[in-house]
């Protein structure tokens, strides 16, 4: 049985509650991964699953940390919450 990273490391910050739907693959809670983009001097976001670690990286922002970041939590949530049936 898989153990959650937060269960093994209780000192890690708990992901904040969000308007993200559960993970489309495993059904567990999702959260916003984020980094500070020093090129644009803004914070960028990517929705991720807390359990299976899938991450949606298809946003428009490209930086030295990779491509696919979103400029806002709202943009990231809208992309994550789209499902094939919609």
Q: pTM of the entire structure?
A: 0.73
What stretch of H or E contains 80? helix 73-81
pLDDT digits (tens, 9 = 90+) for 10-65: 444 445 556 899 999 999 999 999 999 888 899 999 999 999 989 999 999 998 88
Question: How far apart are the C-alpha atoms of 1 and 69, rounded to whole Å?
Answer: 31
Per the model's pLDDT, the better-predicted residue between 73 and 65 turns out to be 73
Residue 84: pLDDT band (50, 70, 90) is low
Q: What is the pLDDT of residue 49?
A: 94
For the range 1-10, what are the long-range contacts, defined as Cβ-Cβ under 8 Å and sequence gap of 24 or more? 2/51, 4/50, 4/51, 5/50, 6/50
Q: What is the pLDDT of residue 74?
A: 95
CA distances from 80 to 7, 28, 47 (A): 25, 13, 6
């Amino acid at each position: 049985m898989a153990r959650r990273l937060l269960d093994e490391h209780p000192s890690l910050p708990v992901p904040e509650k969000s308007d993200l739907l559960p993970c489309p693959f495993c059904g567990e809670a999702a959260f916003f991964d984020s980094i500070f983009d020093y090129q644009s001097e803004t914070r960028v976001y990517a929705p991720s699953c807390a359990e299976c670690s899938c991450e949606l990286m298809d946003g428009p922002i490209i930086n030295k940390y990779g491509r696919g970041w979103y400029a806002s939590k709202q943009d990231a949530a809208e992309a994550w919450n789209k499902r094939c049936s919609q």
